[in-house]
Amino acid sequence: MNAQLHHITPDRIATAKLDNEHEAIAAARALAQRFKASASRRDKERLLPFAELDALSQSGLLGITVPEQYGGLDVSNTVLAEITAILSEADGSIGQIPQNHFYILEALRTDGTEEQKRYYFGRALAGDRFGNALSERGTKTVGHYNTRITRDGIGYRVNGSKYYSTGVLFADWITVFALDEEERLVMAFVPKGTEGVEIIDDWDGFGQRVTGSGTTLLNNVYVHADSVVHHHKGFERPTTIGSVGQIIHAGIDLGIARAAFAETLDFVRTKSRPWTNSGVDNAADDPLTIAKVGQLAVRLEAALATVERAGRKVDVAQIDTTEENVVDASLAVAAAKVLTTEIALEATNALFELAGTASVKLDLNLDRHWRNARTHTLHDPVRWKHHVVGNYHLNGVIPPKSGAL
């Protein structure tokens, strides 16, 4: 093992040890209560959540997917999605930040060496945060990469430019995705502060404003050989890398939808006026409003049930990774992502429809829920999930092996 795998020992309060899934859920709820209180102000003033991410590290939640043989809790994917939803309901930006962290840990579980697993899983259990340097601008598609990793003696050099580097501002490790000299996709762990890495806080999207999703510039960055994972192998055979990553995205949208629904209920009960011709004294007694709220509640319940079912299928595929189980998980997660996308957009839009004109005041900042939902749901188009599911059922075409499925 070389020196790089001893590079980071952040000075932070000892990470809590979570003994079961109930404790993990409780920890998420405690954090959510804290995060929710200042979420609107963070969004309005674009205050980056460094303290909140430190609290997340200390909570022990960043190590919940580490396999038991490496000292982790190895929570079910249903619980992982629910914890994501809990955090996202409190603050959609904070809920999104660890998505790449957990994706990276799943990729490590799938294709890392034993030495890499022992070390990086240990760092996750200690509260280290893994950010991504994945997507690029100016390529033919989002699945193409210009960033390159080339041999340099016993190690490598990385050169390129990344955008949408979610969470990288808060990361202890920058996980760079690059093509090697044989055009194969690899994943390289680069410690924060490594020479040649420049992180620019230039994310200016109207939603998910404090995810730290800026530009990462990589100028001849040196990477030790044992910090490189052959990520391409995870898409040359059936794996759950994509379905784990996607069920977390579904959890984010579910949480945002819940937040908007809760805001709707509160506003209609306490502030909205009934429509002139409704014949009722309180907005909460308007039969059309009641029916719309019921419709939203039903669709939220359906989305949650689909996420839970998909999580169980991903669990099965992780344990028994056959093509049949992986396809079953991928299709179920695709369905969950479709339904959570739809309810996130519907619930955040219905908030204003039902609450009325008074709800659009700038000081309330209720539009952050719609902005967060609209921004996050653009990550991968659900129309292609419909296509993948339909093509499988109609023509027997196996879903492509992808991080987006």
Q: Contact, 311 vs 243, CB < 8 A?
A: no
Determine the pLDDT at residue 311. Answer: 98
What proportion of the chain, given as a percentage, has pLDDT over 70? 97
pLDDT higher than 80, residue 138:
no
State the amino acid at position 50 in one-letter form.
Answer: F
Check pLDDT > 70 for residue 50. yes
Mean pLDDT of the chain: 95
Residue 6 has pLDDT above 50, yes or no: no
DSSP state of 157: E
Q: Count CA atoms within 13 Å of residue 58 on its CB side.
A: 12
Residue 339, helix vs strand vs coil: helix
Please report the pLDDT score of residue 374 as a whole number.
98
pLDDT at 2 over 60: no
Query: Which domains are present in the chain?
Result: 21-129 (1.10.540.10), 148-233 (2.40.110.10), 237-395 (1.20.140.10)
Instruction: Find how far residue 395's CA is from the centre of its chain.
Output: 31
Whether pLDDT at 67 is above 80: yes
Could you give the CA distance from residue 231 to residue 179 in angstroms, rounded to a whole number? 10
Query: 148 with 178: CB under 8 angstroms?
Result: yes
Q: Which of 139, 330, 309 is nearest to 245 (CA)?
A: 330
Run of H or E residues at 23: helix 21-45
Residues 6+ away with beta carbon under 8 Å from 169: 48, 131, 199, 201, 212, 214
Residue with tokens 């893994």: 130
Alpha-helical runs (H) found in 163-217: none
User: What is the DSSP track for 242-304?
Assistant: HHHHHHHHHHHHHHHHHHHHHHHHHHHHHTPPPPGGG--SSGGG-HHHHHHHHHHHHHHHHHH
Q: What is the pTM of this model?
A: 0.95
CA–CA distance from 224 to each of 148, 160, 241 (Å)? 15, 17, 24
- Give the pLDDT confidence score for residue 11 in this predicted structure: 57
C-alpha dihedral, 160 to 164 to 167 to 169, nearest 10°: 60
Q: Identify whether the C-beta of residue 380 lies closer than 8 Å to the C-beta of residue 404.
A: yes
Ordered alpha helix ranges (H), 97-206: 99-111, 114-125
The whole-angstrom separation of Cα 212 and Cα 169 is 5
pLDDT of residue 26: 98
394 pLDDT higher than 90: yes
Q: Going by C-beta distance under 8 Å and a sequence separation of 6 or more, which residues neighbour residue 131?
A: 100, 101, 165, 166, 167, 168, 169, 170, 171, 173, 174, 175, 212
As given in the structure block, the two tokens for residue 253 are 């949208």
pLDDT at 7: 46
**What amino acid is encoded at 130 in this protein?**
F
241 neighbors 107 (Cβ within 8 angstroms): yes
The closest alpha carbon to 76, from 21, 19, 17, belongs to: 21
Rg of the Cα atoms in the chain: 21
Bridge-partner residues for 191, per DSSP? Answer: 173
pLDDT for residue 8 is more than 60: no
Instruction: Using the predicted structure, report yes or no on whether residue 229 has a pLDDT greater than 80.
Output: yes
Rounded Cα–Cα distance for residues 83 and 59 (Å): 12
- The yes-or-no verdict on residue 251 having pLDDT over 60 is yes
Q: What is the pLDDT of residues 347-366, one digit of tens each?
A: 999 999 999 999 999 999 99
pLDDT at 3: 35
Mean pLDDT for 128-147 is: 87
